[in-house]
Amino acid sequence: MAAKSGFVSFFKRERHPGDLAFAVAFLLLSVFLVSQLGEQAIWAKRTKFFAQPAFWPTISLSGMLLFAVLHCIGSLASPRTPGRGPEVIFWIRSLEYSVWFLIYVWIVPRIGYLGATLLFTLALTYRVGYRTKDMYLGAAAMGVGIVVIFKAFLQVKIPAGQVYELLPDGIRNFMLLYL
Amino acid sequence: METLAAAIAILLRWEVLGALLVGSVGGVIIGAVPGVGAAVAIAILLPATFAMEPIVGLTLLLGIYGSSMYGGAIPAILINTPGTAVNALTTYDGHPIARDGNPKRALSLAYSASFFGGIFSVVCLILLAQVLALVAPHFGSREIFLAALLGVVLVVLAHRGKVFVAGMLACFGIFLNTVGLEPVKYTRRFTFDQTWLASGIDLIVVVLGLFALSQAFLLLVDKDTHPEATRVEGGLFEGLKELWIYKRVATVGSSFGVLMGMIPGVGEFTSQFMSYTYAQKTSKTPELFGKGAPEGLVAAESANNAVPGAAMIPLLALGIPGEALTAMMLSVFYVHNVIPGPQLFANQMPFVVALYIGLFLLNIFVLIFLIFSTNQILRVIRIPSRFLGVMILTLAFVGLYSLRNSMTDCAIGAAFGVFGLILKRLDLPSVPIVLGMVLGGIMEVKLRSSMARVKSPLDFIDRPIAAIIFTAIVLVISIHLWTYFRRTGKTAGNRRENRD
């Protein structure tokens, strides 16, 4: 009994809702990656041990697996805080904004940086619940400001939109260079 | 003297001074917005500096790095929400002073203490420069490998109560660095026959995902908040006079900042807590701590602001970053073809001194800016949280997409954004991943090159500096295990006694 109590206190820690779900998921990832060591990294012939291509993946994945097991035990040994379901749903909800972001990335080379940014900031402002004229104006000003600062002034490497090809010569050159 | 003249010549150009000014002011504003922070800003702006001259790009980002903590004190004091994570301790005493009707006093004292800490660390850095120039050439491959290993060990052990997860994430970071084409035999590692993984996973992509996108997702999914901060009336010069009363606390706090800043993996949090504990223990009114003790505020601010300058010591001398921000500064140096390490001190001393003077100047710029512009900065604090999320997401695109114009980078960044959000929600650290990636790369290269000249394991530590670092690693691990077992043993014993 005393040995069990000592074991539990060794691993006991603060545990937030969703902690076990994360610990188990990471442990599974570690197991999967370790299982791929033979396939995905080679031990080359006539090469010193420390220069082997598989040396560092083996070291890092072994460490990852060891600590993932310990973290998982810690999660099981610590008092549970209810709320795993809502917490996991919170994580999943963030995927929606990843999709928003990737759509933005996808449309930039098509309709151009300025148009895509304006569309993105205005639509996302609407989506997150701001419905006033001031907020839309703020979102548009922010979008234009970011494009002007980064593309026109700092000349950051962002490709021009395909639709710019349809514009008249003078405006097209300006749009290609600055917006 | 020649070195100093050459350093001043590097700095005294309008574009360099302009970059320093813009970086300093920008850093304060970014630091003042809760949930943004210097890491996000540096990651977003780094690709924007690719086209700039190295010294211009570096001073711009150095300005942001060195000044964000000044700005972070403003919301910490006025709305009890730290602008950057390291300003958390500032809320303990800064906010109660402001709440009791004295926001001007709290802010001016925080600015003065930060200024003192910043200048103190730069002076230490300048004084240490000659010593570093002498010591740095004695660092060969094995010493740098051991220093990087010490960095990993300290980063893991610094996360008290989360050591296992910090270890797991540090190893994950080291693993991420191995993905792609390896540099010796040019074989593919963990690419799963996917061409987009052959070039590896870019550090900046991971950093932007873990810091910027995760924060944006968190703000967008979470409840909307509208922070309110009232205007501060009157001048902010009094703090400089009041700081004189607490000069002992400020000096000790700054010393802790310098000391802890130099040790990889320890950084602001430890230095602040040590400084704060010292101030409380030696105070005549320890009961006031946490309720509005000016000494507490001075201890926290002087310690955290002394760290950036000091953290540049291992970064410049050895190329070893101590925490996430210096890891990012390391990539900033690499991007601009400045390779930190012993050779930098041997061959480019004027450049190093120019950086030191730049750090010194930025503290002056920031103090002047803050004294006159605090009320204007308050407008930034009032931005609703979800709108801030939209803003960060839009800005993160610039950082991610302009790296290689790659949709894949953006998708990887978004995946790390969701991963970073989970870590934030679970109160788990993301810094070990970043440091694992950076230090893992250094360890791989340095171990390979050092083992070529090593015949037996003991040869590895037969040089004095290598032996000292190795002893430090063994000592740090032993002390940690000893205190951990003692504490858990005591806890289990207490529980048994209570049951009996």
Task: Output Rg (C-alpha) for chain B, integer angstroms.
Answer: 23
Residue B199 CB-density burial (10 A; 0-12 exposed, 13-18 middle, 19+ buried): middle
Mean pLDDT in residue range A40-66: 92
- Which tops the pLDDT comparison, A139 or B273? A139
The predicted structure's pLDDT at residue A70: 95
Q: Is the pLDDT of residue A107 over 80?
A: yes
**Confidence band of B180 (pLDDT split at 50, 70, 90):** very high
- Chain center to CA of A134: 31
Mean pLDDT in residue range A82-100: 95
Q: Which of B91, B148, B453 is nearest to B326 (CA)?
A: B148
What are residue A155's phi and psi, to 5 degrees?
Answer: 55, 40
By Cβ distance, the residue of B175, B192, B401 closest to A158 is B401
The predicted structure's pLDDT at residue B186: 87
Least confident of A121-130, B126-135, B205-214: B126-135
Under an 8 A CB cutoff, do B418 and A22 touch?
no
Least confident of B216-225, B345-354, B441-450: B345-354
By Cβ distance, the residue of B390, B398, B488 closest to A128 is B390
**Confidence band of B49 (pLDDT split at 50, 70, 90):** confident
The predicted structure's pLDDT at residue A109: 94
**Residues in chain A closer than 8 A to B427 (CB atoms):** 14, 16
The predicted structure's pLDDT at residue B497: 66
The tokens of A33 are what? 């990656």
CA distance B93 to chain A (A): 26
The predicted structure's pLDDT at residue B120: 93
**Confidence band of A64 (pLDDT split at 50, 70, 90):** very high
- pLDDT tens digits for B280-337? 889 988 888 888 899 999 999 999 889 888 888 888 888 888 777 787 778 778 777 7
The predicted structure's pLDDT at residue B494: 66
DSSP string, chain A: -HHHHHHHHHH-----TTHHHHHHHHHHHHHHHHHTHHHHS---TT--GGG-TTHHHHHHHHHHHHHHHHHHHHHHHSPP-S-HHHHHHHHHHHHHHHHHHHHHHHHHHHH-HHHHHHHHHHHHHHHTT--SHHHHHHHHHHHHHHHIIIIIIS----PPPGGGGGS-HHHHHHHHHH-
The tokens of B278 are what? 């010292």
- Which tops the pLDDT comparison, B347 or A125? A125
Q: Whole-angstrom Cα distance, residue B126 to residue B309?
A: 10
**Beta carbons of B322 and B264 less than 8 angstroms apart:** yes
Q: Whole-angstrom Cα distance, residue B478 to residue B309?
A: 30
**Confidence band of B113 (pLDDT split at 50, 70, 90):** very high
**Residues in chain B closer than 8 A to A154 (CB atoms):** 48, 51
**Confidence band of A143 (pLDDT split at 50, 70, 90):** very high
| Most confident among B40-49, B118-127, B171-180, B316-325 (mean pLDDT) | B171-180
**Confidence band of B492 (pLDDT split at 50, 70, 90):** low
Q: Which of A163, A150, A171, A172 is nearest to A108 (CA)?
A: A163
Task: Output Rg (C-alpha) for chain A, integer angstroms.
Answer: 26
**Confidence band of B236 (pLDDT split at 50, 70, 90):** low
The tokens of B306 are what? 């002394």
Mean pLDDT in residue range A83-96: 94
Under an 8 A CB cutoff, do A56 and B178 touch?
yes
Q: Is the pLDDT of residue A44 over 90?
A: no
Mean pLDDT in residue range B134-149: 86
Under an 8 A CB cutoff, do A130 and B387 touch?
yes
From A68, which residue of chain B is nearest by alpha-carbon distance?
B168
The ipTM assigned to this model is 0.94
Mean pLDDT in residue range B247-253: 94
Q: Whole-angstrom Cα distance, residue B307 to residue B441?
A: 24
The predicted structure's pLDDT at residue A1: 54
Mean pLDDT computed over every residue of chain A: 91
Under an 8 A CB cutoff, do A124 and B390 touch?
yes
Q: Is the pLDDT of residue B36 over 80?
A: no
- Which tops the pLDDT comparison, B308 or A93? A93
CA distance B331 to chain A (A): 18
Our CA angle for B33, B403, A110, nearest 5°, is 95
Mean pLDDT in residue range A125-134: 94
Least confident of B66-80, B208-222, B230-244: B230-244
Under an 8 A CB cutoff, do A63 and B167 touch?
yes
Task: Give which of A28, A98, A124, A135 to mutate to test B binding, by max B Cβ within 10 Å.
Answer: A98
**Residues in chain A closer than 8 A to B190 (CB atoms):** 33, 36, 40-41, 57
From B50, which residue of chain A is nearest by alpha-carbon distance?
A156
CA distance A119 to chain B (A): 11
Under an 8 A CB cutoff, do A41 and B189 touch?
yes
The predicted structure's pLDDT at residue B194: 92
Q: Is the pLDDT of residue B82 over 80?
A: no
From B172, which residue of chain A is nearest by alpha-carbon distance?
A64
The predicted structure's pLDDT at residue A2: 58
Q: Whole-angstrom Cα distance, residue B420 to residue B425?
A: 9
Q: Whole-angstrom Cα distance, residue B1 to residue B14?
A: 23
The predicted structure's pLDDT at residue B263: 78
By Cβ distance, the residue of B51, B171, B386 closest to A128 is B386
